[in-house]
């Protein structure tokens, strides 16, 4: 799929079929995530790949809006790693870029996925910390459930000329 097609037709997918997602496909998604730009190229990310059904079920309860994780074939927890920060604070933008890359790659490969927001909601961060016990300086940022789509919401065009300002406001 062409890059523009993938960007313009991606939608959040919250229902998945039982078709397994191969390990090699997950690696490709992570390759796309790690291709993201980052401040001073600091790449302040770590990824937890979750396939264990009981863990996926528990992750469904991390927030009011994470129920679909229980029906996914896999989930990736995108984490910020503050260990070697070169550009303090920018880990959030860096992890967001990695998350978006992963979502677009998933769509381009025929998968469905959705960004489940974790950081900066303290209780969601803490629930994931309780589940995975990452080191102190690693902060769960987002959860991305992945599977082959069992819904097809179709593309939307959100282009809005009124949001665009040329040379002056
Ligand atoms: C920071 C962020 C957090 C989000 N958190 C959730 C979430 O917790 N649960 C969910 O179902 N969707 C979540 N979404 C997905 C949005 O609801 C979705 O992107 C938006 O409604 C636009 O729809 P689309 O992705 O299909 O274009 C999140 C998206 C972003 C960018």
**Best of 6, 11, 12, 158 to mutate for ligand 1, by most ligand atoms within 8 A of CB?**
12
pLDDT in tens, 24-34: 999 999 999 99
Q: Name the closest-CA residue to atom 14, ligand 1.
A: 115
Is residue 84's pLDDT more than 90?
A: no
Domain definitions of the chain by residue range:
34-150
Measured CA to CA in angstroms, residue 25 lies from 75, 78, 80, 109, 112 at distances of 13, 17, 23, 8, 12
Q: How far is the CA of 16 from the centre of ligand 1 (A)?
A: 16
Segments of 26-123 assigned E as strands:
45-50, 74-81, 112-113, 116-117
Q: Cα separation of 45 and 28, whole Å?
A: 16
34-150 carries CATH number 3.40.109.10:
yes
pLDDT in tens, 93-151: 999 999 999 999 999 999 999 999 999 999 999 999 999 999 999 999 999 999 999 99
pTM value is: 0.98
Measured CA to CA in angstroms, residue 120 lies from 62, 139, 165, 168, 169 at distances of 13, 10, 30, 33, 31
Q: How far is the CA of 168 from the centre of ligand 1 (A)?
A: 31
User: 3-state class of 148 per DSSP?
Assistant: coil
């Amino acid at each position: 799929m062409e890059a523009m097609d993938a960007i313009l037709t991606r939608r959040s997918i919250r229902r998945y079929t039982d078709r397994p997602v191969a390990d090699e496909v997950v690696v490709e998604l992570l390759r796309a995530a790690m291709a993201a730009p980052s401040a001073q190229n600091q790449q302040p990310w770590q990824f937890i790949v979750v396939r264990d059904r009981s863990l996926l079920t528990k992750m469904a309860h991390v927030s009011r809006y994470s129920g679909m994780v229980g029906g996914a074939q896999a989930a990736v927890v995108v984490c910020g790693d503050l260990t070697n920060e070169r550009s303090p604070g920018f880990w959030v933008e860096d992890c967001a870029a990695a998350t978006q890359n992963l979502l677009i790659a998933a769509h381009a490969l025929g998968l469905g996925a959705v960004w489940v927001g974790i950081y900066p909601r303290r209780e969601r961060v803490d629930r994931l910390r309780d589940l995975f016990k990452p080191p102190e300086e690693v902060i769960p940022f987002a959860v991305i459930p992945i599977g082959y789509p069992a819904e097809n919401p179709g593309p939307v065009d959100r282009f809005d000329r009124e949001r665009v300002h040329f040379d002056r406001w």
